Structure 1
Amino acid sequence: MLYTLTLYLHILSAIIATGPLFGIFPLLNRMQKAPDDQLQSYVIAIQGVLRAVANGGHVLVPTGLLLIWFGGWSFSSFWILATIVIMLCSLLFMARAFKPSMAFAQSDEFTKIRFIKMVKTATYQYILLMGILLWLMVDKPMLW
């Protein structure tokens, strides 16, 4: 029962850590057509989405560690090591991809088109990283 509850929480937190990213695209599409006086509200909404994604990881990591322990997996398994490496890379990526775009939104050089391109590119890349993590956790490939 505890394993099932932990698995459910892990899956739910994975949805929370990934799902909101897809909400950025409609926001960016609306932002593209929005008048300049409404741009800041879109930037704030995007920041909220990014906070939700980051906070989803606060449950994802501990439940994942519990599942590894409950499942009897070795931390030297390929899929676990690859997941940890990619997860650490995704933390660095999120800081390097989204923080500059949020800082750019507050700068004097802010342009709507450049901001949209920055956020869209970072979002696609982050979704790709999350997809790789999901594949590793579901397929559990064993290369050694």
Structure 2
Amino acid sequence: MDYLYRIIIYIHVLSVIASIGPFFILLPVVKKLRMATEAEMNAYLDTFRFAVRFAKHAGHVLVVTGILLVISGPWTWSTPWIVTTLIILFCSLLFLARAFSPTLRKFHEDGQNKEELAAKLNRSIWIYIVLLLAMLWFMVVKPVLW
């Protein structure tokens, strides 16, 4: 069982990397969106959508492996760092649902300011990265909060 637990930890860590990494790649894509032609914009938006979708699926693996680790590991669901991580996870899911798709759709609407939309995407990326890194911090440090 110890060997299986270590494999689940490894998959969990890989899914963390796959959940966070694409958002750093999107930062230069957002810069290019500001001045993109219509054809370029479509390619950048497709890249953006793919990266967000990839991160979402990696997040599914992250949640499943996290559940398996709690069930088979030494911690309980009431452990402070787990509770805090779950609260941040819930907030990040709500944020993710509203942060990117509505803004990406606006790029195709007439009269929209690409500069403002790109700035909004950039801000959303950084907020989401901070949320993900906060969860990562709680999982790595495992602070005693109460």
Q: TM-score, normalised by structure 2?
A: 0.92
Q: Which amino acid aligns with 1:70?
A: S
Write the deviation string for residues 65-91 of structure 1: whole angstroms up to 9, x where unpaired: 111122221111110111111101100
Q: Which runs of 4+ in 1 moved over 6 A?
A: none
Q: Superposition pairs for residues 1-144 of structure 1, below 5 Å?
A: 1-144=3-146
Deviation at 1:133? 0.2
Aligned-residue Cα RMSD (Å) equals 1.3
TM-score of the aligned structures, taking structure 1 as reference length: 0.93
Q: Quote the Cα distance in structure 1 between the aligned partners of 2:53 and 2:144.
A: 33
Secondary structure in 2 aligned to 1:19?
helix
Mark the CA change 1:35 to 1:102 in structure 2 (over 3 Å): closer, same or farther.
Answer: closer
Q: Partners in 2 of 1:103 and 1:6 — Cα distance?
A: 37
Q: How far off is 1:141 after superposition?
A: 0.9
Number of equivalent positions: 144
- Listed as ranges, the gaps of 5+ residues in structure 1 are none
Give 1:98 shift. Answer: 1.1
Gaps of 5+ in 2: none
Cα displacement (A) at 1:22: 0.5
Task: Give me the identity figure in percent.
Answer: 37
For 2:114 and 2:42, the matched residues in 1 are separated by 10
Counterparts of 1:77 and 1:143, CA distance in 2: 9
Q: Distance in 1 between matches of 2:13 and 2:81?
A: 17
